[in-house]
Amino acid sequence: MLTVEKFEEASEVVHQVIQQTKLVYSDYFSRQTGNKVYFKPENMQLTGAYKLRGAYYKISTLSEEERQKGLITASAGNHAQGVAYAAKCYGVKAVIVMPTTTPLIKVERTKSYGAEVILYGDVYDEACAHALELADQEGYTFIHPFNDLAVATGQGTIAMEIIQELPLVDYILVPIGGGGLAAGVSTLAKLLNFHIKVIGVEPSGANCMQVSLKNEEVTTLPHVSTIADGTAVQTPGDLIFPYVQENIDDIITVNDDELIAAFLDMVENHKMIVENSGLLTVAALKHLNVKNKKIVSILSGGNMDVITMSSVVQHGLIQRDRIFTVSVRLPDRAGELVRVATVIANQQGNIIKLDHNQFVSTNRNAAVELKITMEAFGTEHKQQIMKALKAAGYEMQMVTANL
């Protein structure tokens, strides 16, 4: 049972290893939504995510014999680091099975805590099945990332800290993958104040909990597809499902494009790196049809590799018309390139890439293609540049930006 007493015990235990993640007020998102928005920055934890809470508390409840057998788990990264770090604290062996799609930074950091890492399967569920096989073969003690009441209790300590710091909180937004965090946070929040609304947030391409709640039973998705790798789960946990059923007030789903926009917002307005799964609750803010409420978005993690980060930034800039590409037809004669560049410069556009194709037509005097990739301040500025090019007599069309 998830009880207040167990949550209090877990809170005392996890405070031996966690960072104090005080709420961060967001002036930007408060103005955007008409509410008072706060972030619970679990991306600032020692292992870069909230998962250390559940892993450490779970291991504390094991017998010495269970710990000495060695620990094994499956994870897309954050639970892996939590178990690896906790195992190191207890001086026991940890074996982590991670999907082959796990970002390199999560793999390397897990290894840095002394764990043995095995890459297996394309999604979490395949990695988990392999970890269970190894547990049977080698006698390891399995630490489930979400379908475990002790793990969920450890994660739920986040709700205690939120309510202690903001007693009159109206809404708590919590990311959902398998459901451990959602079960812990929502259960404790309701135990402490039944009037608090707890909203789960899932990727639209991996909404296993939403589908399960609709079907009123644990349901496995045929496949998942999302850039939020930490929540790319096909089947929610059956042990924690009843707690989510009882205590989650609603579920919001967001698409990958919304996560990309949220990443840019967090970097530019809060100078904060949050991984895609942690951005779910940020992207969900605009879906809440409420005003003048105190809202806490849980930022579940910040473990994002640089390559993924670069890709998300580029896509975000393109998505917001701050980078765009046009194809312009012009005669192949001296001075035309300068003339085009001058038109753009006069509108304060910044050219970052040119692709000049002289062979688009057999009649080079009639048409040469020039693809121009440039920076703008946004959609209005982009339209201003396009209008100036058209006024200068250039035929053009938009093409997909390729950096």
CB distance 67 to 141 below 8 Å: yes
* Rg over CA atoms, the chain: 25
Q: How far apart are CA 202 and CA 210, in angstroms?
A: 8
CA atoms within 13 A on the CB side of 53: 35
Alpha-carbon torsion 9, 242, 49, 35, what sign? negative
Identified catalytic residue from 60, 186, 212, 300: 300
* Closest to 61 measured CA to CA, from 94, 93, 91, 90: 90
Q: How far apart are CA 370 and CA 355, in angstroms?
A: 6
Q: How far apart are CA 136 and CA 66, in angstroms?
A: 14
343: its two tokens = 């038109």
Q: Please state the φ and ψ torsions of residue 28, each to the nearest 5 degrees.
A: -60, -55
Residue 264 belongs to what H/E stretch? helix 256-270
DSSP character for 19?
A: -
Q: How far apart are CA 120 and CA 100, in angstroms?
A: 6
Total Cβ atoms within 10 A of residue 97: 26
- Tell me which residue has tokens 């949050």: 274
Q: How far apart are CA 152 and CA 179, in angstroms?
A: 8
CA atoms within 13 A on the CB side of 294: 14
Q: How far apart are CA 141 and CA 138, in angstroms?
A: 9
Q: Please state the φ and ψ torsions of residue 175, each to the nearest 5 degrees.
A: -70, 150
| Residues whose CB is less than 8 angstroms from the CB of residue 222 and which lie 6 or more positions away in sequence, other chains included | 234
Q: How far apart are CA 111 and CA 94, in angstroms?
A: 10
Based on the residue annotation, tell me whether 300 is a catalytic residue of this protein.
yes
Based on the residue annotation, tell me whether 271 is a catalytic residue of this protein.
no
Identified catalytic residue from 6, 51, 58, 382: 51
Total Cβ atoms within 10 A of residue 374: 21
Q: How far apart are CA 20 and CA 218, in angstroms?
A: 34
Q: How far apart are CA 238 and CA 168, in angstroms?
A: 32
Q: What residues are labeled active site?
A: 51, 300
